[in-house]
Amino acid sequence: MRDRVLILSVFVVASCGLAYELIAGALASYLLGDTVLQFSSIIGCYLFAMGVGSHLSRYVKDEDALARFIDVELLVGIVGGLSATILFSIFAWASTPFRTVLYALVFLIGVLVGMEIPLVMRVLYGRKAELREMVSRVLTFDYLGALAVSLLFPLVLAPRLGMSRTALVFGLLNAGVALFTAQVFGKELHGKRGIRLRGTAVAVVLIAGLAFSSQLTHWAEQSVFGDQIIHAETTPYQRMVVTRWQDDLRLYLNGNLQFSTRDEHRYHEALVHPAMQSLPGARSVLVLGGGDGLAVRELLKYPKLEHITLVDLDPAMTKLFSTSETLTAINQHSLTNPRVKVINADAGQWLETDTGSYDAIIIDLPDPSNFALGKLYSVPMYRLVSKHLAEHGYVVVQSTSPYFAPHAFWCVVATLKEAGFYTWPYHANVPSFGEWGYVLAGKHDSFTQPDHYDVPLRFLDASSTREMFHFPSDMVAPEVEPNRLNNQSLVHYFEQDWHRVIR
Amino acid sequence: MPGMAEGHILRDGLRDAAKLPSPSGELECDVAIFGSGVAGMTAAWRLAKAGRRNILVIAGPEPDGNAAGASMAGQACPSGAHYLPLPSMESRHVREMLADVGVIISDPFGHRPEFDERILVHAQQERLLRAGKWHEDLLPDEASTTQERSEHQRFLRYVEQLKTATGNDGKRAFAIPIALSSQDAQWRALDRLNFRDWLTREGYRSAPLHWYANYACRDDYGTSYEHTSAYAGLHYFASRAGEARNAEPGAVLTWPDGLQGMMRALRSKIGFGAHLDNSTAPRQMTGFAASIQIRNKAVDALVVQPASGTASLRTLRVRARHAICAMPLHVAAHVVEDMRGYGFDPATHLPQSAPWMIANFLMRRFPEERAAAQLAWDNVIYEGKGLGYVVATHQLIRVAKPEHAVFTAYNALSDRSPQDSRRWLETASPAQLLERAAGDMHLAYEQLWPYVERVDITLRGHAMASPAPGYLNNKGLLALREVDGPLQFAHSDMSGYSVFEEAAWWGEMAARRLL
Ligand SMILES: Cc1cc2nc3c(=O)[nH]c(=O)nc-3n(C[C@H](O)[C@H](O)[C@H](O)COP(=O)(O)OP(=O)(O)OC[C@H]3O[C@@H](n4cnc5c(N)ncnc54)[C@H](O)[C@@H]3O)c2cc1C
């Protein structure tokens, strides 16, 4: 009976071992692209590490074999179980060298897994099993376990549980094997209580991981990396990730969704056309941010427009969206259009030195999630913008969600007013963002909502425009302070508002 | 050490004119101003604003004095004063000046003027590192016991009340400029004990509060709180009652190069002319006064222009109908003939002066913050030896961190007597100075040196007058404030402590007497 328990452990242990390998390989190819290379090198590293583990197992004394086996199980359980979670977190928060951690983890797990089978065999051998019989049974179950996981993983586990949770579940299995073995072989072990204690601790950590992983998974996996990654790059300014799932292409900056090709036309039409339709004589437009070239694509629909100047901080971003075939297909090569001038600079700094005057200024900057970004939504910044705006012109500012972040949204309105602008806030439904907000502003008091559009559009028309400028009673403006550099109220509003939404 | 060579020359007897070449020229003017610090520049500004043209400023060893700045790798940074609190109602002269240079945009004399937000310090203004964690407040509630918290609240409530407290003459008990404060003996009695004893007497025992009070004294006066008058200690908290329409109470004004930004604006308002012999615009010349005397009801001074480049040392005679002596009093004591005649006896009336060290660290990239904390403008270390460091790039409207930044670390050398500290400054090796300068930043960052490209250290042996108990009744200072005649005095020293508003006040007073 006891020997059968050990043989059964082999089955479980083998499936866990393969699971970690698969998870690491899948994660690497998800996150880094280049599947063949990632899988081969992960498997190579893992197998080599297993060899190292087998070699190390010889230093375990015969009488300790069982106890060390249990230790190894607990270790694999915790390291392997948390591996995917650790890797996701590191990847999402960038700066740490992801690859180094990846291979270190794979190697460590490999070494531990490599020790398992030799140790089990020695325990059995020490219990006078017949060598021929024992080797055959152990290896049979070893390979059977592998087979089970290799089928379960792609068909059930990965799609249903996701990477983090799959790893955590296998970690629990390892811990279970340790505890169960300790239970069954109790008499032959010293320090059973210690083992139980450690085993329980590992299990608790993993279960806690499972409890939280739904959040983490939701945030990191499903929402960010559930899809295939076709480009990932860390620039000095941000982390850019482009994903694809069927015909849906998405861009994430620092983990925040920037657009999805499913509905970005809504976002960009709403951003550009209410202002542009009202400026039939517009000759030159300034775009701050918007390095994806999508707002520019909309602007290029106006043949009279002679100069479009786009100022985006990150050269890597504008380069990617000027050269990548997939991405230029989306922005219709807008960034390389001769009417467009792309400048890589810090918006505030650039405005301080630029002397141009523009008929429209489109501000499509990242949300004000920290003090540095908050400065770009401040009274002095808008005064500076005002200096560059023609007397008859309009400014449009993407202003986060009036539904989810009402204080932040209306704070942008109040800030523009404080800087001397007249404002016309509006909002549009962009499914992948939810209800999204914009503020149109001008130096004079006249703006009429367009009742038609002269350029071909998919989303905007007379009636959707009317709705955009109407704020129903669940979106009324709260009392807010303008965003002054001295207190950066906007950054606080933004944090508080979104904190209420995402728990 | 700006001014040290010149100062020691004067102290060691340059006045025995035998050592100097005879004057190689003579300049005449309506008003001569000796010193180009805040006091001197304010006087020049006021006179120029009133239409006076024939003004000659003799810069002295350091243009801008203690409000000077520097530049490292193209980044402006302070080498002296760094900020101005929102001006109090009494500081009309400062408000007028700020409005004149465009920092106050509207309602300069109202309760809540509107300020240029680029000059108002941006969030986050300050933070405190205590027990390995950054807090947003210098007296963080979250790091205090209940007992301490209630003491902090009591203290802060009390000083808040003091902001509006008045004496029996109807004047504010603690006003800036200090000369406009109430003369009520009840308040002035606070000048008899030191600030630490006052706190103890009032039953304050909280260690963080004592640290904070001591920090405030070191930061503003260069002396520890047991050497600071309790009146001055409370004055620090109670006098700064200024408000702004577009900033929170307690906000401050700052430029990347500290108050040099203000001086620059002031200079351009004064409109200095290029040529020394063109008296249709105010003029400024290099050099320092070696002697100032009254001859035939006019001022007669000998100015030394040290050798520079190919020019060798020379002297000039300056004759002026009026003059303003805007240099530190310990220098004036050696330069002005017969100071005792003005009621000021240097032997007894010179205030103690505190030595300071200002270190500018040119940083490449930004050091890694603990737990992804955000850098503030002023970064203070609890129980640190220094006074923390300010960040010169803080006011830039930038998303990306600039390639270079300058962190300016302030140290008031108040841990020994001023004399011992000055001696230490003169003899310390560069490595010792650097160790002291970097002390606070070492506590803030695990890794500092990999980020540091260069360090420039400015030593100010006599940086500021310190308000020791009894300073309110310094008869010599009171006498100088009243001096009227061909020669006037204007310097922050005359307030017995040193801030921009005080220096500006005496410049303003001197100029007004001439108008
Ligand atoms: C490190 C430090 C930090 C500070 N921080 C602040 C702050 O944040 N906020 C604030 O309000 N205040 C601050 N202060 C105080 C503030 O800098 C001073 O109050 C102010 O600059 C003093 O100006 P002043 O005109 O009275 O004198 P000084 O600055 O001493 O100017 C004296 C002038 O006289 C000239 N001079 C000297 N000898 C002669 C001579 N023989 N002939 C002619 N000219 C001569 C000098 O060149 C100089 O220009 C700080 C001071 C220091 C030292």
User: For B207-245, how does the pLDDT look when each residue is reduced to its tens digit (9 = 90+)?
Assistant: 999 999 999 999 999 999 999 999 999 999 999 999 999
Give the span between the Cα atoms of A303 and A309, in whole angstroms: 15
Examine residue A131 and state whether it is found in any structural domain, yes or no. Answer: yes
For residues A98 and A31, the answer to whether their CB atoms sit within 8 Å is yes
- Does residue A188 fall inside a structural domain? yes
Q: How far apart (Å, rounded) are the C-alpha atoms in residues A415 and B230?
A: 43
Ligand 1 pocket member B65 (CB < 6 A): yes
CATH superfamily of B4-69+257-351+472-514: FAD/NAD(P)-binding domain (3.50.50.60)
The sign one gets for the Cα dihedral A97, A101, A102, A104 is positive
Q: Do residue A174 and residue A91 come from a single domain?
A: yes
Alpha carbon distance B102, B113 (integer Å): 12
| Structural domain range at position A466 | 263-501
- Tell me the mean pLDDT in the region B10-31: 78
Distance CA A435, CA A437 (A): 7
CA-nearest of B460, B461, B483, B495 to B325 is: B483
B316 forms beta bridges with B303
Residues linked to residue B291 through DSSP beta bridges, in sequence order:
B302
Q: Which residues of B touch A347 (CB under 8 A)?
A: 399
* pLDDT (tens digit per residue) in A416-456: 999 999 999 999 999 988 999 999 999 999 999 999 999 99
- For an interface test with A, which of B75, B120, B121, B399 has the most A Cβ atoms less than 10 Å from its Cβ? B399
Q: What is the CATH number of the domain that holds A411?
A: 3.40.50.150
> What does the pLDDT read at residue A221?
46
CB A305 within 8 A of CB A277: no
How far lies B420's CA from each of B283, B359, B414, B423, in Å? 39, 20, 10, 5
Mutate which of B117, B119, B369 to test chain A, going by most A C-beta atoms within 10 A? Answer: B117
User: Does B42 contact ligand 1 (Cβ within 6 A)?
Assistant: no
- Domain identity same for A312 and A416: yes
Do A291 and A212 have their domain in common?
A: no
Per-chain mean pLDDT for chain A: 88
Asked if residue A237 belongs to a domain, the reply is no
Mean pLDDT of A311-316: 95
Last residue of a domain, one of A224, A252, A282: A224
Residues in chain A with CB shorter than 8 Å from the CB of B123 are 371, 374, 485-488, 491
Q: How far is CA B117 from the centre of its chain?
A: 23
pLDDT band at A369 (very low <50, low <70, confident <90, very high): confident
| Cβ–Cβ under 8 Å, residues B92 and B109 | yes
Residue with tokens 């089970």: A148
Q: For residues B307 and A123, what is the distance between their CA atoms, to the nearest angstrom?
A: 92
Nearest alpha carbon to residue A449 among A475, A467, A428, A436: A467
A390: number of Cβ within 10 Å: 18
- For the stretch A463-498, what's the b/e string if a residue is b when 16 or more beta carbons lie within 10 angstroms of its beta carbon? eebeebeebeeebeeeebbbbbbbbbbbbbbbeebb
pLDDT digits (tens, 9 = 90+) for A448-458: 999 999 999 99
Give how far A488 is from chain B: nearest CA, Å. 6
Report yes or no: A2 and A116 within 8 Å, Cβ to Cβ: no
Give start and end residues of each alpha helix (H) in A33-64. 35-57
Q: Model confidence over A101-147: pLDDT tens digits?
A: 889 999 999 999 999 888 888 888 877 777 888 888 888 888 888 89
Q: Of B248, B397, B398, which is closest to A380 when you measure between CB atoms?
A: B397
Q: Say whether both A11 and A97 belong to one domain.
A: yes
Q: Rounded CA gap, B298 and B288, in Å?
A: 19
3-state class (DSSP) for residue B385: coil
Q: Where are the domains of chain B?
A: 4-69+257-351+472-514, 72-83+354-465
B392 C-alpha to ligand 1 centroid (Å)? 20
Residues of B in contact with A348 (CB under 8 A): 396-399
**Residue A18 within a domain:** yes
Same domain, A201 and A284: no
Answer yes or no: is pLDDT of A95 > 70. no
Is A222 a residue whose pLDDT tops 50? Answer: no
For B358-367, what is the mean pLDDT? 93
Q: Which of A176, A206, A224 is the last residue of a domain?
A: A224
Q: Which residues contact A338 (CB under 8 A, 6 or more apart)?
A: none
The total number of structural domains in chain A stands at: 2
ipTM of the complex: 0.78
B246 contacts chain A (CB < 8 A): yes
Considering the domain architecture, whether residues A291 and A219 belong to the same structural domain is answered as no
| Cβ pair B463, B382 in contact under 8 A | no
Assigned domain for A232 exists: no
User: Considering the domain B72-83+354-465 in this protein, what is its CATH number?
Assistant: 3.90.660.10
- For the entire predicted model, the pTM comes to 0.78
How distant is the Cα of A370 from the closest Cα of chain B, in angstroms?
9
Distance CA(A498)–CA(B94), nearest Å, equals: 42
Q: Is some CB atom of chain A closer than 8 A to the CB atom of B248?
A: yes
Catalytic one among A364, A367, A454, A461? A364
